[in-house]
Amino acid sequence: MEPARRDLAGPRESAILSALIEQAYRQLPIALVVSLINALILTGVLWGGIRKTTLLIWLACLVSVTAFRFLNLRAFSNPQRRGRVEDAVWRRNFVAGACAAGIVWGGAGIALFHPTSFTHQVFLAFVLGGMVAGGVPLLSPLNRAYPCFAIPIVLPITFSMLVLGDRVHVIMGLMILVFGIAMLSSYARVQRLFREATDMRLRLASSLAEGSALQEMLRLDELTRIGNRRCFEEQLGSEWKRADRNRGTLAVISADVDYFKAYNDRYGHPAGDRCLVGVAQAMASALQRPGDAAARIGGEEFAFVLPQTTVLGAEKVAERIRKAVWDLNLPHESSPIAERVTVSLGVASSDHASVASPADLIRASDAALYEAKRKGRNQVATVAP
């Protein structure tokens, strides 16, 4: 049982990882913009208090790291390139970018730490604390990304405070350290929430897809893979309402394979099934509009729904269907009318005076089909005015 569970968990874990990677990269632009803005603000505030060369070198390092992360984001946003690279590589690149940014920001806790200006020290601690806190929701989707970012930031500024040794700076250093630990604890909870939410979302999407596929299967004829009676009735009801709303016309064609019982008796039921499959596909391919629907509603009985079609238009479609089956040239030596499989078709339209409901339309097309059979089969008949 354990190997089977691992096999089942593998694809799900892979899907969760892929979704978390996508979410992390989707949030990356916010992190890059905030990082640059805070860096510019910090540089402006410390300008004149810290050596300009040091400030510019630090800012250049941050811009370089941001550029690397931006290029990685741009590559991820390219569907073709993204498809050629494994998820593990994108995760590694994301974590590496977060780590590099954390190191540069952590470097500010030492390189930009003013030894005598308490105001500058507090402002620097405030900015670094803001970066640590802001990184929780932005970096939590991917494991290790946030710790690699936060720890290099917290430790240097804590060290700088503790080194000064006086009571106030020691307390501030310990407060920063406690704050960092609290943020790491929050990260663990947020990451778990991200993962659980992603897993639930994927499960829901999978359930919806399975439900949709099941509904589609329930509307398909198992043998011929065209619509079944349920599909036909749903389509007819929907198109009837639309035609009534728009004052349009709706046509229905009923069709039977001629002398199909004799075909089964001579060639056997497996051959009869193959015949129905071929006939169904030929008839469905004769429909040229996306809105037209073909269905198998019985053994050798078929029906077609033709929206926005007059009786004359439906007659042309029915003749095209009849010819498509004729052109299959399937042998039928037991047929008294031809040496190949043929179909008879009846046409009716909603613009007929006697048609006031979908049921009336079906009855009219069945009556026309009966007329086609009475006249000798292998032909199209239309309900009389």
pLDDT tens-digit series, residues 275-294 = 999 999 999 999 989 889 99
pLDDT, position 2: 40
pTM for this prediction = 0.57
DSSP 208: H
Round to whole Å and give the CA distance between 236 and 268.
34
Q: Where are the domains of the chain?
A: 2-212, 229-382
pLDDT, position 194: 82
Task: Report long-range pairs for 203-208 (Cβ below 8 Å, ≥24 apart).
Answer: none
pLDDT tens-digit series, residues 301-349 = 999 999 999 999 999 999 999 999 999 999 999 999 999 999 999 999 9
pLDDT, position 212: 60
The dotted CATH code for 229-382 is 3.30.70.270
Residue 172 · residue 125 · CB < 8 Å: yes
Looking at the predicted structure, is the pLDDT value of residue 110 above 60? yes
Residue 319 annotated in active site: no
Closest CA to 86 of 76, 96, 74, 71: 76
Catalytic residue among 210, 300, 315, 319: 300
pLDDT, position 210: 63
Question: Mean pLDDT across the stretch 186-212?
Answer: 77
Phi, psi of 307 (to 5 degrees): -65, 150
pLDDT, position 4: 39
Please spell the DSSP secondary structure of 229-279, one letter per residue: HHHHHHHHHHHHHHHHHHT--EEEEEEEETTHHHHHHHH-HHHHHHHHHHH
pLDDT tens-digit series, residues 347-373 = 999 987 788 999 999 999 999 999 999
Residue 343 · residue 283 · CB < 8 Å: yes
DSSP 51: -
Q: Which residues lie below 8 Å from residue 168, measured CB to CB, with a gap of 6+?
A: none
pLDDT tens-digit series, residues 8-37 = 346 777 888 888 888 889 889 999 999 999
Q: Which residues lie below 8 Å from residue 224, measured CB to CB, with a gap of 6+?
A: 276, 277, 280, 281, 296
Closest CA to 54 of 109, 111, 104: 111
Q: What is the largest CA-CA distance in the chain?
A: 112
pLDDT tens-digit series, residues 248-277 = 999 999 999 999 999 999 999 999 999 999
